[in-house]
Structure 1
Amino acid sequence: MASDTPKVVAAACDGACSGNPGPGGWGCLLRFSDGSVREFGGAEANTTNNRMELTAALTLLEQLAVLPRDPSLSIRTDSKYLIDGFSKWINGWKRKGWRTASGSPVLNRDLWEALDAARVQGLPLTYVKGHSGDPDNDRCDAIAVAFSKGQIPKLAQGEYGGLMVSESAAPAPVDLAPQGLQQLLSRLELADRLAQGGYGLSLLELAQLVEMPLKTLEAREGPWQWRDWEVTPAGDGRWQLRREASGSGQVQAEERQDG
Protein backbone atom coordinates (compact mmCIF):
# COMPACT_ATOMS: atom_id res chain seq x y z
CA MET A 1 0.00 0.00 0.00
CA ALA A 2 1.11 3.54 -0.71
CA SER A 3 0.79 4.45 2.97
CA ASP A 4 3.40 1.80 3.77
CA THR A 5 6.00 3.34 1.47
CA PRO A 6 8.87 4.79 3.54
CA LYS A 7 9.14 8.57 3.43
CA VAL A 8 12.34 10.56 3.12
CA VAL A 9 12.97 12.09 6.55
CA ALA A 10 16.46 13.56 6.02
CA ALA A 11 18.52 14.79 3.08
CA ALA A 12 22.05 16.18 3.01
CA CYS A 13 24.70 17.07 0.43
CA ASP A 14 28.27 18.33 0.20
CA GLY A 15 31.05 18.97 -2.28
CA ALA A 16 34.85 18.98 -2.14
CA CYS A 17 37.69 20.03 -4.39
CA SER A 18 41.47 19.75 -4.19
CA GLY A 19 43.02 22.91 -5.59
CA ASN A 20 39.77 24.73 -6.49
CA PRO A 21 39.94 24.35 -9.44
CA GLY A 22 41.23 20.82 -9.40
CA PRO A 23 40.00 17.26 -8.84
CA GLY A 24 36.61 17.35 -7.18
CA GLY A 25 33.97 15.11 -5.67
CA TRP A 26 30.44 15.33 -4.39
CA GLY A 27 28.29 13.29 -2.04
CA CYS A 28 24.71 13.25 -0.82
CA LEU A 29 22.31 10.99 1.03
CA LEU A 30 18.66 10.34 1.76
CA ARG A 31 17.37 8.78 4.97
CA PHE A 32 13.99 7.07 5.12
CA SER A 33 11.41 6.57 7.85
CA ASP A 34 12.16 2.83 7.97
CA GLY A 35 15.80 3.51 8.91
CA SER A 36 17.25 2.80 5.46
CA VAL A 37 19.58 5.16 3.61
CA ARG A 38 20.61 5.77 0.01
CA GLU A 39 23.89 7.47 -0.82
CA PHE A 40 25.14 9.03 -4.04
CA GLY A 41 28.42 10.51 -5.18
CA GLY A 42 30.74 11.19 -8.07
CA ALA A 43 33.90 12.90 -9.24
CA GLU A 44 35.19 15.34 -11.86
CA ALA A 45 38.81 15.68 -12.90
CA ASN A 46 38.89 19.49 -13.17
CA THR A 47 36.21 21.44 -11.34
CA THR A 48 35.53 23.74 -8.38
CA ASN A 49 34.11 23.26 -4.91
CA ASN A 50 31.02 25.29 -5.80
CA ARG A 51 30.25 23.13 -8.83
CA MET A 52 30.49 20.04 -6.68
CA GLU A 53 28.11 21.56 -4.10
CA LEU A 54 25.59 22.33 -6.84
CA THR A 55 25.93 18.90 -8.43
CA ALA A 56 25.21 17.16 -5.12
CA ALA A 57 22.11 19.29 -4.53
CA LEU A 58 20.87 18.68 -8.07
CA THR A 59 21.12 14.93 -7.54
CA LEU A 60 18.96 15.17 -4.41
CA LEU A 61 16.32 17.32 -6.12
CA GLU A 62 16.05 14.85 -8.98
CA GLN A 63 15.60 11.98 -6.52
CA LEU A 64 13.14 13.82 -4.28
CA ALA A 65 10.91 14.79 -7.19
CA VAL A 66 9.60 11.21 -7.31
CA LEU A 67 9.86 10.08 -3.67
CA PRO A 68 7.38 10.49 -0.79
CA ARG A 69 8.68 13.06 1.69
CA ASP A 70 8.09 14.01 5.28
CA PRO A 71 6.34 17.43 5.33
CA SER A 72 9.14 18.92 7.44
CA LEU A 73 11.93 17.72 5.14
CA SER A 74 14.65 20.12 4.07
CA ILE A 75 17.97 19.63 2.28
CA ARG A 76 20.83 20.22 4.71
CA THR A 77 24.00 21.79 3.32
CA ASP A 78 27.01 23.75 4.58
CA SER A 79 27.17 25.79 1.35
CA LYS A 80 25.82 29.33 1.77
CA TYR A 81 26.61 29.84 -1.92
CA LEU A 82 24.08 27.11 -2.77
CA ILE A 83 21.46 28.39 -0.34
CA ASP A 84 21.71 32.07 -1.28
CA GLY A 85 21.90 31.38 -5.00
CA PHE A 86 18.96 29.00 -4.99
CA SER A 87 16.78 30.98 -2.58
CA LYS A 88 17.68 34.64 -3.27
CA TRP A 89 19.96 35.46 -6.19
CA ILE A 90 18.60 33.27 -8.97
CA ASN A 91 15.51 35.36 -9.74
CA GLY A 92 17.62 38.47 -10.18
CA TRP A 93 20.09 36.61 -12.36
CA LYS A 94 17.29 35.48 -14.66
CA ARG A 95 15.82 38.98 -14.92
CA LYS A 96 19.23 40.32 -15.91
CA GLY A 97 19.82 37.62 -18.53
CA TRP A 98 22.05 35.58 -16.23
CA ARG A 99 24.17 38.53 -15.24
CA THR A 100 25.23 39.48 -11.71
CA ALA A 101 24.58 42.88 -10.15
CA SER A 102 27.96 44.01 -11.49
CA GLY A 103 27.04 42.88 -15.00
CA SER A 104 29.40 39.91 -15.20
CA PRO A 105 28.17 36.49 -16.38
CA VAL A 106 26.86 34.20 -13.64
CA LEU A 107 29.31 31.42 -12.91
CA ASN A 108 28.05 27.84 -13.13
CA ARG A 109 25.00 28.95 -15.10
CA ASP A 110 24.44 25.46 -16.50
CA LEU A 111 24.04 23.99 -13.03
CA TRP A 112 21.93 26.88 -11.75
CA GLU A 113 19.54 26.45 -14.66
CA ALA A 114 19.33 22.71 -13.99
CA LEU A 115 18.70 23.33 -10.30
CA ASP A 116 15.97 25.84 -11.07
CA ALA A 117 14.27 23.38 -13.42
CA ALA A 118 14.48 20.62 -10.80
CA ARG A 119 13.10 22.79 -7.99
CA VAL A 120 10.68 20.88 -5.72
CA GLN A 121 7.84 22.99 -4.36
CA GLY A 122 7.90 23.35 -0.58
CA LEU A 123 11.36 21.81 -0.17
CA PRO A 124 13.75 24.35 1.40
CA LEU A 125 17.50 24.33 1.92
CA THR A 126 18.78 24.49 5.49
CA TYR A 127 22.26 25.60 6.54
CA VAL A 128 24.35 23.36 8.79
CA LYS A 129 27.85 24.33 9.85
CA GLY A 130 30.46 22.10 8.25
CA HIS A 131 32.70 19.87 10.38
CA SER A 132 30.55 20.53 13.44
CA GLY A 133 29.75 16.91 14.32
CA ASP A 134 26.57 16.68 12.26
CA PRO A 135 26.53 12.98 11.23
CA ASP A 136 24.96 13.42 7.79
CA ASN A 137 27.09 16.42 6.86
CA ASP A 138 30.23 14.57 7.95
CA ARG A 139 29.16 11.54 5.94
CA CYS A 140 28.53 13.54 2.76
CA ASP A 141 31.86 15.34 3.23
CA ALA A 142 33.66 12.00 3.56
CA ILE A 143 32.09 10.74 0.35
CA ALA A 144 32.94 13.95 -1.53
CA VAL A 145 36.53 14.06 -0.28
CA ALA A 146 37.10 10.40 -1.17
CA PHE A 147 35.90 10.92 -4.73
CA SER A 148 38.06 14.05 -5.05
CA LYS A 149 41.09 11.93 -4.10
CA GLY A 150 40.35 9.30 -6.75
CA GLN A 151 39.03 6.76 -4.25
CA ILE A 152 35.95 4.60 -4.68
CA PRO A 153 33.70 4.91 -1.62
CA LYS A 154 31.25 2.20 -0.67
CA LEU A 155 27.82 3.84 -0.91
CA ALA A 156 24.82 2.54 1.00
CA GLN A 157 21.81 1.61 -1.12
CA GLY A 158 19.24 0.59 1.46
CA GLU A 159 21.26 -0.44 4.49
CA TYR A 160 22.82 2.03 6.93
CA GLY A 161 25.90 3.69 5.46
CA GLY A 162 27.98 4.28 8.59
CA LEU A 163 31.52 5.54 8.09
CA MET A 164 32.61 5.35 4.50
CA VAL A 165 35.18 2.70 3.74
CA SER A 166 37.02 3.88 0.65
CA GLU A 167 39.11 1.93 -1.77
CA SER A 168 41.73 3.15 -4.21
CA ALA A 169 42.70 1.36 -7.38
CA ALA A 170 45.37 -0.53 -5.43
CA PRO A 171 44.38 -3.73 -3.60
CA ALA A 172 43.26 -3.15 -0.02
CA PRO A 173 45.43 -4.56 2.77
CA VAL A 174 44.28 -8.02 3.73
CA ASP A 175 44.25 -7.22 7.46
CA LEU A 176 41.55 -4.54 7.26
CA ALA A 177 38.67 -5.07 9.68
CA PRO A 178 35.39 -6.08 8.02
CA GLN A 179 33.36 -3.17 6.71
CA GLY A 180 30.55 -3.69 9.23
CA LEU A 181 33.03 -3.52 12.11
CA GLN A 182 34.62 -0.35 10.73
CA GLN A 183 31.18 1.23 10.42
CA LEU A 184 30.38 0.31 14.02
CA LEU A 185 33.70 1.72 15.23
CA SER A 186 33.01 5.04 13.51
CA ARG A 187 29.66 5.34 15.26
CA LEU A 188 31.17 4.52 18.66
CA GLU A 189 33.91 7.11 18.12
CA LEU A 190 31.29 9.68 17.15
CA ALA A 191 29.25 8.82 20.25
CA ASP A 192 32.32 9.49 22.40
CA ARG A 193 32.85 12.88 20.75
CA LEU A 194 29.21 13.82 21.27
CA ALA A 195 29.30 12.73 24.91
CA GLN A 196 32.54 14.57 25.66
CA GLY A 197 31.25 17.76 24.06
CA GLY A 198 27.90 17.58 25.83
CA TYR A 199 26.07 18.02 22.52
CA GLY A 200 22.30 17.72 22.33
CA LEU A 201 20.87 15.54 19.57
CA SER A 202 17.51 15.81 17.91
CA LEU A 203 15.42 12.64 17.76
CA LEU A 204 16.31 12.20 14.08
CA GLU A 205 20.04 12.63 14.74
CA LEU A 206 19.85 10.16 17.61
CA ALA A 207 18.06 7.63 15.39
CA GLN A 208 20.84 7.96 12.83
CA LEU A 209 23.51 7.37 15.46
CA VAL A 210 21.99 4.35 17.22
CA GLU A 211 20.31 2.94 14.11
CA MET A 212 16.85 2.63 15.61
CA PRO A 213 13.54 3.53 13.96
CA LEU A 214 12.11 6.91 14.87
CA LYS A 215 8.93 5.28 16.16
CA THR A 216 10.94 3.27 18.68
CA LEU A 217 12.71 6.36 20.01
CA GLU A 218 9.55 8.45 20.10
CA ALA A 219 8.15 6.06 22.70
CA ARG A 220 11.06 6.69 25.08
CA GLU A 221 10.77 9.24 27.88
CA GLY A 222 13.38 8.75 30.60
CA PRO A 223 17.07 7.75 30.50
CA TRP A 224 17.96 4.51 28.72
CA GLN A 225 21.06 2.54 27.82
CA TRP A 226 22.79 2.26 24.44
CA ARG A 227 26.00 0.25 24.51
CA ASP A 228 28.42 2.10 26.85
CA TRP A 229 26.38 5.30 27.00
CA GLU A 230 23.41 6.49 28.98
CA VAL A 231 20.99 8.42 26.78
CA THR A 232 19.12 11.08 28.72
CA PRO A 233 16.50 13.69 27.76
CA ALA A 234 17.98 17.20 27.63
CA GLY A 235 14.80 19.23 27.14
CA ASP A 236 13.32 20.78 24.00
CA GLY A 237 13.04 17.32 22.49
CA ARG A 238 16.80 16.80 22.47
CA TRP A 239 18.92 14.00 23.93
CA GLN A 240 22.44 13.76 25.37
CA LEU A 241 24.92 10.92 25.69
CA ARG A 242 26.88 10.24 28.88
CA ARG A 243 29.67 7.68 28.90
CA GLU A 244 29.44 5.10 31.65
CA ALA A 245 32.61 4.87 33.72
CA SER A 246 32.41 1.08 33.84
CA GLY A 247 31.90 0.79 30.08
CA SER A 248 29.61 -2.16 30.71
CA GLY A 249 26.39 -0.96 29.11
CA GLN A 250 24.17 -3.46 27.39
CA VAL A 251 22.74 -3.20 23.91
CA GLN A 252 19.01 -2.60 23.90
CA ALA A 253 16.91 -5.55 22.81
CA GLU A 254 15.49 -3.75 19.80
CA GLU A 255 18.90 -2.71 18.47
CA ARG A 256 20.15 -4.61 15.46
CA GLN A 257 22.62 -7.35 16.29
CA ASP A 258 25.40 -5.85 14.18
CA GLY A 259 25.25 -2.58 16.13
Structure 2
Amino acid sequence: MSSFPRIKSIYTDGACSGNPGPGGWGVVVYFADDSVYEMGGAEALTTNNRMELQAAIAALEFLSQTEQKQPVTLYTDSEYVKKGITQWVNGWKNKGWKTAQGKAVLNQDLWETLDRLNTAKINWQYVRGHAGNIGNERCDEIARNFSLGGTPTLKQPPTLETFSSATTVQSGYITLQSSEVPPDLSTFKLTMTDATISSTAETLESLSGEARVTQLRNLVEVLHIADEIATKGYLITSSELADLMDIHTSAVTSRGDNWVWRNWVVSRVRREGNQILWQLERVD
Protein backbone atom coordinates (compact mmCIF):
# COMPACT_ATOMS: atom_id res chain seq x y z
CA MET A 1 0.00 0.00 0.00
CA SER A 2 3.03 2.25 -0.12
CA SER A 3 1.79 3.73 -3.43
CA PHE A 4 -1.22 5.29 -1.70
CA PRO A 5 -1.33 9.05 -1.20
CA ARG A 6 0.36 10.40 1.91
CA ILE A 7 -1.85 10.59 4.98
CA LYS A 8 -2.03 14.14 6.27
CA SER A 9 -4.13 13.68 9.40
CA ILE A 10 -6.49 11.26 11.12
CA TYR A 11 -9.49 11.94 13.35
CA THR A 12 -11.01 9.38 15.72
CA ASP A 13 -14.04 9.33 17.99
CA GLY A 14 -16.20 6.94 20.00
CA ALA A 15 -19.78 7.06 21.23
CA CYS A 16 -22.01 5.08 23.54
CA SER A 17 -25.80 5.14 23.97
CA GLY A 18 -25.64 4.62 27.71
CA ASN A 19 -22.41 3.85 29.53
CA PRO A 20 -22.29 0.88 29.28
CA GLY A 21 -24.61 0.40 26.35
CA PRO A 22 -24.57 0.05 22.55
CA GLY A 23 -21.47 1.74 21.20
CA GLY A 24 -19.92 2.91 17.98
CA TRP A 25 -16.70 4.44 16.72
CA GLY A 26 -15.55 6.39 13.71
CA VAL A 27 -12.31 7.25 11.91
CA VAL A 28 -11.72 9.84 9.19
CA VAL A 29 -8.43 9.77 7.28
CA TYR A 30 -7.39 12.85 5.29
CA PHE A 31 -4.84 12.42 2.50
CA ALA A 32 -2.53 15.03 1.03
CA ASP A 33 -4.34 14.82 -2.32
CA ASP A 34 -7.58 15.84 -0.54
CA SER A 35 -9.15 12.39 -0.75
CA VAL A 36 -10.87 11.01 2.36
CA TYR A 37 -11.22 7.50 3.77
CA GLU A 38 -13.73 6.72 6.53
CA MET A 39 -14.17 3.71 8.81
CA GLY A 40 -16.59 2.84 11.57
CA GLY A 41 -17.99 0.04 13.64
CA ALA A 42 -20.31 -0.94 16.46
CA GLU A 43 -20.51 -3.12 19.54
CA ALA A 44 -23.69 -4.23 21.28
CA LEU A 45 -22.56 -3.65 24.85
CA THR A 46 -19.52 -1.54 25.67
CA THR A 47 -18.38 1.77 27.16
CA ASN A 48 -17.52 5.15 25.69
CA ASN A 49 -13.85 4.75 26.62
CA ARG A 50 -13.58 1.40 24.86
CA MET A 51 -15.07 2.92 21.72
CA GLU A 52 -12.60 5.81 21.87
CA LEU A 53 -9.77 3.31 22.17
CA GLN A 54 -11.14 1.09 19.41
CA ALA A 55 -11.30 4.06 17.04
CA ALA A 56 -7.64 4.90 17.71
CA ILE A 57 -6.66 1.25 17.24
CA ALA A 58 -8.45 1.03 13.88
CA ALA A 59 -6.71 4.24 12.78
CA LEU A 60 -3.25 2.92 13.64
CA GLU A 61 -3.99 -0.46 12.07
CA PHE A 62 -4.90 1.31 8.85
CA LEU A 63 -1.81 3.50 9.04
CA SER A 64 0.44 0.46 9.52
CA GLN A 65 -1.03 -1.09 6.38
CA THR A 66 -0.11 1.97 4.32
CA GLU A 67 3.56 1.64 5.30
CA GLN A 68 3.82 5.42 5.41
CA LYS A 69 7.08 6.73 6.82
CA GLN A 70 6.16 10.40 7.23
CA PRO A 71 4.76 11.69 10.55
CA VAL A 72 0.99 11.77 10.97
CA THR A 73 -1.11 13.85 13.33
CA LEU A 74 -3.92 11.93 15.02
CA TYR A 75 -6.70 13.99 16.60
CA THR A 76 -8.89 12.64 19.41
CA ASP A 77 -11.40 14.39 21.63
CA SER A 78 -10.73 11.88 24.42
CA GLU A 79 -8.26 13.08 27.04
CA TYR A 80 -8.39 9.53 28.37
CA VAL A 81 -6.91 8.21 25.12
CA LYS A 82 -4.46 11.05 24.54
CA LYS A 83 -3.03 11.13 28.06
CA GLY A 84 -3.15 7.36 28.38
CA ILE A 85 -1.01 6.68 25.31
CA THR A 86 1.38 9.64 25.78
CA GLN A 87 1.72 9.80 29.58
CA TRP A 88 0.31 6.88 31.54
CA VAL A 89 0.96 3.72 29.53
CA ASN A 90 4.67 3.37 30.38
CA GLY A 91 3.92 3.58 34.09
CA TRP A 92 1.22 0.96 33.76
CA LYS A 93 3.58 -1.39 31.94
CA ASN A 94 6.35 -0.88 34.47
CA LYS A 95 3.93 -1.87 37.23
CA GLY A 96 2.75 -4.97 35.39
CA TRP A 97 -0.40 -3.25 34.12
CA LYS A 98 -1.30 -2.13 37.60
CA THR A 99 -2.27 1.33 38.77
CA ALA A 100 -0.42 3.23 41.50
CA GLN A 101 -2.82 1.62 43.98
CA GLY A 102 -2.19 -1.90 42.73
CA LYS A 103 -5.46 -2.28 40.83
CA ALA A 104 -5.65 -3.81 37.37
CA VAL A 105 -5.68 -1.25 34.56
CA LEU A 106 -9.11 -1.26 32.98
CA ASN A 107 -9.32 -1.87 29.22
CA GLN A 108 -5.84 -3.43 29.37
CA ASP A 109 -6.53 -5.49 26.24
CA LEU A 110 -7.14 -2.39 24.16
CA TRP A 111 -4.33 -0.41 25.75
CA GLU A 112 -1.86 -3.20 24.95
CA THR A 113 -2.97 -3.24 21.33
CA LEU A 114 -2.82 0.54 21.01
CA ASP A 115 0.63 0.64 22.63
CA ARG A 116 1.90 -2.03 20.23
CA LEU A 117 0.66 -0.07 17.21
CA ASN A 118 1.87 3.31 18.43
CA THR A 119 5.09 4.71 16.96
CA ALA A 120 7.16 7.85 17.25
CA LYS A 121 5.74 9.14 13.96
CA ILE A 122 2.28 9.55 15.54
CA ASN A 123 1.68 13.07 16.79
CA TRP A 124 -1.17 12.72 19.27
CA GLN A 125 -3.31 15.85 19.56
CA TYR A 126 -6.38 16.60 21.66
CA VAL A 127 -9.25 18.42 19.96
CA ARG A 128 -12.28 19.65 21.85
CA GLY A 129 -15.41 17.77 20.86
CA HIS A 130 -18.54 19.42 19.49
CA ALA A 131 -16.63 22.62 18.77
CA GLY A 132 -17.15 22.82 15.03
CA ASN A 133 -14.01 20.96 13.91
CA ILE A 134 -15.02 19.28 10.65
CA GLY A 135 -12.98 16.10 11.13
CA ASN A 136 -14.12 15.62 14.72
CA GLU A 137 -17.76 16.36 13.90
CA ARG A 138 -17.72 13.79 11.09
CA CYS A 139 -16.16 11.14 13.35
CA ASP A 140 -18.80 11.86 15.96
CA GLU A 141 -21.54 11.51 13.35
CA ILE A 142 -20.20 8.12 12.24
CA ALA A 143 -19.71 6.83 15.80
CA ARG A 144 -23.14 7.95 17.00
CA ASN A 145 -24.86 6.51 13.94
CA PHE A 146 -23.30 3.11 14.58
CA SER A 147 -24.07 3.27 18.31
CA LEU A 148 -27.75 3.82 17.47
CA GLY A 149 -27.85 0.80 15.17
CA GLY A 150 -27.41 2.68 11.91
CA THR A 151 -25.14 1.94 8.94
CA PRO A 152 -23.82 5.29 7.73
CA THR A 153 -22.50 5.72 4.22
CA LEU A 154 -18.72 6.00 4.48
CA LYS A 155 -16.38 7.70 2.04
CA GLN A 156 -13.99 5.14 0.61
CA PRO A 157 -12.16 5.97 -2.64
CA PRO A 158 -11.78 2.98 -5.02
CA THR A 159 -8.00 3.01 -4.55
CA LEU A 160 -8.46 2.13 -0.89
CA GLU A 161 -10.96 -0.70 -1.22
CA THR A 162 -8.20 -3.29 -0.96
CA PHE A 163 -7.49 -2.30 2.63
CA SER A 164 -7.46 -5.33 4.91
CA SER A 165 -6.23 -6.19 8.38
CA ALA A 166 -6.80 -8.70 11.16
CA THR A 167 -10.09 -6.92 11.84
CA THR A 168 -13.12 -7.86 9.78
CA VAL A 169 -13.93 -5.09 7.29
CA GLN A 170 -17.10 -5.03 5.20
CA SER A 171 -17.96 -1.82 3.34
CA GLY A 172 -16.31 0.18 6.04
CA TYR A 173 -18.14 -1.61 8.87
CA ILE A 174 -15.76 -3.22 11.30
CA THR A 175 -17.15 -5.89 13.60
CA LEU A 176 -15.52 -5.74 17.01
CA GLN A 177 -14.63 -9.01 18.65
CA SER A 178 -14.40 -8.02 22.32
CA SER A 179 -17.65 -8.00 24.31
CA GLU A 180 -16.26 -7.64 27.82
CA VAL A 181 -17.76 -4.67 29.64
CA PRO A 182 -15.74 -3.43 32.62
CA PRO A 183 -17.66 -2.60 35.82
CA ASP A 184 -15.98 0.76 36.22
CA LEU A 185 -13.13 2.89 34.90
CA SER A 186 -9.48 2.18 35.57
CA THR A 187 -7.61 4.11 38.20
CA PHE A 188 -4.47 5.97 37.34
CA LYS A 189 -2.48 8.99 38.59
CA LEU A 190 -3.64 12.42 37.46
CA THR A 191 -2.31 15.84 38.32
CA MET A 192 -3.76 19.29 37.71
CA THR A 193 -2.73 20.93 34.45
CA ASP A 194 -0.16 23.74 34.46
CA ALA A 195 -2.91 26.20 33.54
CA THR A 196 -5.02 25.14 36.52
CA ILE A 197 -2.07 25.33 38.88
CA SER A 198 -1.07 28.75 37.56
CA SER A 199 -4.61 30.10 37.83
CA THR A 200 -5.00 28.77 41.36
CA ALA A 201 -1.63 30.18 42.41
CA GLU A 202 -2.44 33.64 41.05
CA THR A 203 -5.81 33.68 42.82
CA LEU A 204 -4.33 32.64 46.14
CA GLU A 205 -1.46 35.11 45.84
CA SER A 206 -3.91 38.02 45.71
CA LEU A 207 -5.61 37.00 48.97
CA SER A 208 -4.57 37.37 52.58
CA GLY A 209 -3.17 34.38 54.44
CA GLU A 210 -6.42 33.70 56.30
CA ALA A 211 -8.49 34.07 53.13
CA ARG A 212 -6.20 31.70 51.27
CA VAL A 213 -6.62 29.05 53.95
CA THR A 214 -10.39 29.50 53.82
CA GLN A 215 -10.39 29.13 50.04
CA LEU A 216 -8.30 25.98 50.26
CA ARG A 217 -10.69 24.53 52.83
CA ASN A 218 -13.59 25.26 50.51
CA LEU A 219 -11.70 23.58 47.67
CA VAL A 220 -11.06 20.47 49.78
CA GLU A 221 -14.77 20.32 50.63
CA VAL A 222 -15.64 20.48 46.93
CA LEU A 223 -13.16 17.69 46.17
CA HIS A 224 -14.62 15.57 48.97
CA ILE A 225 -18.09 16.05 47.47
CA ALA A 226 -16.78 15.02 44.05
CA ASP A 227 -15.20 11.95 45.62
CA GLU A 228 -18.47 10.93 47.25
CA ILE A 229 -20.36 11.40 43.99
CA ALA A 230 -17.81 9.19 42.22
CA THR A 231 -17.69 6.55 44.97
CA LYS A 232 -21.48 6.21 45.24
CA GLY A 233 -21.93 6.25 41.47
CA TYR A 234 -24.35 9.17 41.56
CA LEU A 235 -25.33 10.78 38.27
CA ILE A 236 -25.49 14.58 38.24
CA THR A 237 -26.89 17.10 35.77
CA SER A 238 -24.87 19.59 33.73
CA SER A 239 -25.90 22.47 36.00
CA GLU A 240 -25.00 20.52 39.14
CA LEU A 241 -21.63 19.61 37.66
CA ALA A 242 -21.07 23.23 36.68
CA ASP A 243 -21.81 24.30 40.26
CA LEU A 244 -19.35 21.73 41.55
CA MET A 245 -16.62 22.93 39.19
CA ASP A 246 -17.58 26.62 39.65
CA ILE A 247 -17.98 27.22 35.92
CA HIS A 248 -20.84 28.12 33.59
CA THR A 249 -23.11 25.27 32.48
CA SER A 250 -22.21 25.87 28.82
CA ALA A 251 -18.57 25.17 29.69
CA VAL A 252 -19.63 21.67 30.78
CA THR A 253 -21.75 20.77 27.77
CA SER A 254 -19.19 22.11 25.29
CA ARG A 255 -16.42 19.78 26.47
CA GLY A 256 -17.74 16.66 24.77
CA ASP A 257 -18.78 13.29 26.14
CA ASN A 258 -15.62 12.27 27.96
CA TRP A 259 -13.00 14.50 29.56
CA VAL A 260 -10.72 14.91 32.55
CA TRP A 261 -11.31 17.26 35.47
CA ARG A 262 -8.65 17.25 38.21
CA ASN A 263 -8.72 13.69 39.61
CA TRP A 264 -11.78 12.46 37.74
CA VAL A 265 -12.81 11.28 34.31
CA VAL A 266 -16.17 12.88 33.55
CA SER A 267 -18.42 10.92 31.21
CA ARG A 268 -21.76 11.75 29.65
CA VAL A 269 -24.07 8.84 30.48
CA ARG A 270 -27.47 9.65 29.03
CA ARG A 271 -30.15 12.28 28.55
CA GLU A 272 -33.34 12.34 30.61
CA GLY A 273 -35.82 14.84 29.21
CA ASN A 274 -33.91 18.07 28.73
CA GLN A 275 -31.19 17.10 31.20
CA ILE A 276 -27.80 15.54 30.42
CA LEU A 277 -26.58 13.21 33.19
CA TRP A 278 -22.87 12.88 33.95
CA GLN A 279 -20.78 10.36 35.86
CA LEU A 280 -17.57 11.08 37.77
CA GLU A 281 -14.97 8.35 38.17
CA ARG A 282 -11.87 8.76 40.30
CA VAL A 283 -8.63 8.05 38.49
CA ASP A 284 -5.79 7.98 41.00
> 1:100-127: per-residue Cα shift (whole Å, max 9, x none)?
1121110000000011111123212100
Q: Which residue of 2 aligns with 1:143?
A: 142
How many angstroms does 1:5 deviate by?
Answer: 4.2
Q: For structure 1, which segment, 58-67 or 43-52, has the greater mean C-alpha deviation from structure 2 after superposition? A: 58-67
Q: Which residue of 2 aligns with 1:63?
A: 62
Q: Which residue of 1 aligns with 2:156?
A: 157
Q: Between Structure 1 and Structure 2, which shows a larger proportion of helix residues?
A: 2
1:18 is aligned to 2:17: yes
Preserved contact between residue 9 and residue 70 of structure 1 (Cα < 8 Å): no
Q: Distance in 2 between matches of 1:66 and 1:86?
A: 20
Q: Distance in 2 between matches of 1:72 and 1:83?
A: 17
Q: Distance in 2 between matches of 1:71 and 1:120?
A: 11
1:38 is aligned to 2:37: yes
Taking structure 1 as reference, are residues 18 and 5 closer, same or farther at Cα in structure 2, changes over 3 Å only? closer
Q: Which residue of 2 aligns with 1:52?
A: 51
Preserved contact between residue 7 and residue 70 of structure 1 (Cα < 8 Å): no
Q: Which residue of 1 aligns with 2:76?
A: 77
How many angstroms does 1:3 deviate by?
Answer: 9.4
> 1:128-153: per-residue Cα shift (whole Å, max 9, x none)?
00000000000000000000000110
Within 5 A, what are the aligned runs for 1:76-155? 76-155=75-154
- Aligned Cα root-mean-square deviation (Å): 1.8
Within 5 A, what are the aligned runs for 1:104-253? 104-158=103-157
What letter matches 2:157 in structure 1? Answer: G
Q: Which residue of 1 aligns with 2:185?
A: none
> 1:179-229: per-residue Cα shift (whole Å, max 9, x none)?
xxxxxxxxxxxxxxxxxxxxxxxxxxxxxxxxxxxxxxxxxxxxxxxxxxx
Q: Distance in 1 between matches of 2:2 and 2:156?
A: 22
How many angstroms does 1:8 deviate by?
Answer: 0.5
How many angstroms does 1:72 deviate by?
Answer: 5.0
Q: Distance in 1 between matches of 2:4 and 2:15?
A: 33
What letter matches 2:57 in structure 1? Answer: L
Which SS does the other structure have where 1:153 is aligned? coil
Q: Which residue of 1 aligns with 2:229?
A: none
Preserved contact between residue 61 and residue 120 of structure 1 (Cα < 8 Å): no
Higher relative contact order (CA 8 A, sep 6+): 2
Structure 2: gaps spanning 5 or more residues: 159-284
Preserved contact between residue 27 and residue 39 of structure 2 (Cα < 8 Å): yes
Preserved contact between residue 17 and residue 23 of structure 1 (Cα < 8 Å): yes
> 1:29-84: per-residue Cα shift (whole Å, max 9, x none)?
11111221110000001100000000000001111113265845210010000011
Q: Distance in 1 between matches of 2:2 and 2:78?
A: 34
TM-score of the two chains, using structure 1 as the length reference? 0.58
Q: Which residue of 1 aligns with 2:214?
A: none
How many angstroms does 1:158 deviate by?
Answer: 1.5
Which SS does the other structure have where 1:120 is aligned? coil
How many angstroms does 1:4 deviate by?
Answer: 6.9
Tell me which stretches of 4 or more aligned residues in structure 1 moved more than 3 Å: 2-5, 68-72
